[in-house]
Amino acid sequence: MELHHNTYKALLFPFFAIFFGTLTLHLLSRYAPFVPYTVMVMLLGMAFDALLDLVYAGNLDPETYGSLKTSTDMWANIDGHVLLYAFLPALLFGDAMTLNIHSFRQCFSQCLLLACPGVFLGTGLTGLAAMYILPYDWDPFFCLCFGSILAATDPVAVVSMLKEVGASQRLTMQITGEALMNDGTAMVLFNLFWAMYNKNKGYLYNDFGSMVKFFCRMSIAGPILGYFLGYISYRWMALATRRHVETDIIVQTSITLFTAYLSFFLGESECFVSGVLCCVTSACVLADKCWPVVNDHHSLENVWHAIEYFGNSVLFFLAGVITHRSITSHEDGGISAEVDFTASDYGYVLLFYMVMTGIRSLMILLFYPLLTRMGGGTNPKDAAFVVWAGLRGAVGLALAQLVLQSGGDQRAGKQLLFVVAGLALLTLIVQGTTCGPLLAKWGMLGIPTVKEAMLEKVFVHLCIQRLILS
């Protein structure tokens, strides 16, 4: 039987990524538990793509590629929208649904300060720095798009790192809450500045009034829609509470899964509001209300842990492939404007990494007097670690992919992807690998999630034994 297309080969890459991820997790847990999993998977993705380049060196005919090379090329050129829609809802929803709402309410004002004024400040300063430091002669609105991509910390990378290093509950909640919220704000700003950059293509957001209206619709209507969808999901889960009936357990798990994706899709694509804020808000509603009616906490948590693990494995392995191709002269025929990056370009990325870290330090320093008086307060060590935990990762790469695939100035798009990929790689390698030792040195480590769950089980067992003996 002759096949006239090979799109089915796209199925190979994600399972290959999960295979490598599982092997990495197995080895790291035994021999190098101090190495962050996501960092290693991203580096493996880069090494894997470099190996493919060596194997197929000089062969530019896709018809003669093996299945693995073909599948990798399909994923490396994946549409940025598909990447966001496929991975972001599950990863955001899973983290937000398991938030300790009581702790989150305590630090909500701090998170809001960093996620709104902080992202505005970071976007503006990063855009200005790109305009005057980088040698690419970008349009001012294009620089602001670049600034919005880098202004927010990546929730996927940050939450993964915090879970692995075992940061204290209060610090984890502050950093996680900021990452979940500022990602939504940054994507709203990205959409706004991208529309203004493309104003000659029919976009109307080129005056102050339309900008304010756009931002309010995206940032206010999104959480409202998310609350509505989250409450409906909670009420449905409350109708399926037969604890010993497997069907009701499946129903509750399914409700959380489709709520994650439908909230993001309806918000982003159909209602034209922030899909990120809609998804996170619906998850927070369930985190606040659903757990008393959940039939099997462990089953639901295990399902979401598995979803997050699979998503992180594929996403960061793919991020490694995209990063390798963006910072090297990889030829795939997909982009018409070829850009040769020299040693000076790599030097500018390193320089901008220091500038970006300085901008985040300035932001935290300016807001420090307010942060000490809001929520649970903060101290100099916490503030310094918040600066250092400002990782960038796969979400920024997906937005950079959108810019590159827009069909506009592809030379500028390649330059932007090159810088974003280089900065994401530096934050993950430098900051991601040193966060754990830094917390340990400063005496700021809490109990890791796994150990905390084990201690809780031991405590419950001892209480039961005491009741039996008495």
pLDDT tens readout for residues 409-424: 778 889 999 999 999 9
pLDDT of 354 over the 90 cut: yes
Amino acid at 196: M
Q: Is the pLDDT of residue 90 over 50?
A: yes
pLDDT band at 333 (very low <50, low <70, confident <90, very high): very low
What pLDDT score was predicted for residue 53? 87
- Please give the structure tokens belonging to residue 26: 């197995």
Q: How confident is the model at residue 433 (pLDDT cuts 50, 70, 90)?
A: confident
Residue 375 Ramachandran class (φ > 0 left, ψ -120 to 50 alpha, else beta):
left
What integer pLDDT is reported at residue 3 of this predicted model? 47
In order of their start, the domains of the chain are 7-469 (1.20.1530.20)
> What pLDDT is attached to residue 374?
84
What is the predicted pLDDT for the residue at 153? Answer: 85
Between 371 and 203, residue with greater pLDDT: 371
pLDDT tens for each residue of 253-294? 999 999 999 999 999 989 888 898 999 999 999 999 999 999
Check residue 119 and give its pLDDT: 92
Q: Which of 302-311, 334-343, 374-383 has the lowest mean pLDDT?
A: 334-343
**Percent of the chain surpassing pLDDT 70:** 85
For residue 205, pLDDT beyond 60: no
Tell whether the torsion through CA atoms of 260, 211, 413 and 146 is positive or negative.
negative
pLDDT digits (tens, 9 = 90+) for 112-132: 899 889 999 999 999 999 999
Question: At residue 83, does pLDDT exceed 60?
Answer: yes
DSSP, collapsed to helix, strand or coil, labels residue 201 as helix
Q: Are 193 and 141 in contact (CB under 8 A)?
A: yes
pLDDT greater than 70 at residue 301: yes
Burial class of residue 236 (count of CB atoms within 10 Å of its CB; 0-12, 13-18, 19+): middle
pLDDT at res. 75: 93
pLDDT at 24: 94
Q: Is pLDDT of 1 > 50? A: no
Q: Band of the pLDDT at 15, cuts 50, 70, 90?
A: very high
- pLDDT over 70 at 193, yes or no: yes
pLDDT at position 97 over 70 = yes
Of 407 and 149, the structure prediction assigns the larger pLDDT to 149
Q: What's the pLDDT at 237?
A: 95
Cα distance between residue 192 and residue 468, in whole Å? 63
The residues near 40 (Cβ < 8 Å, ≥ 6 apart) are 24, 28
Is residue 373 scored above 90 in pLDDT? Answer: no
Q: pLDDT class for 455, splitting at 50, 70, 90?
A: low
pLDDT at residue 255 in the model: 96
How high is the pLDDT of residue 444? 74
pLDDT band at 231 (very low <50, low <70, confident <90, very high): very high
Flag the least confident range among 57-61, 340-344, 434-438.
57-61
| pLDDT value for 267 | 92
The whole-angstrom separation of Cα 191 and Cα 35 is 35
Q: What is the rounded average pLDDT for all residues in the chain?
A: 85
Residue 2 has pLDDT above 50, yes or no: no
Mean pLDDT of 184-204: 77
3-state secondary structure 46-83: HHHHHHHHHHCCCCCCHHHCCHHHHHHHHHHCCCHHHH
Through-space distance between the first and last CA atoms of the chain, rounded to whole angstroms: 74
Instruction: Give the model's confidence band at 313: pLDDT under 50 very low, under 70 low, under 90 confident, else very high.
Output: very high
**pLDDT at residue 336 is higher than 60:** no
Query: Within 10 Å of residue 21's Cβ, how many Cβ atoms?
Result: 23
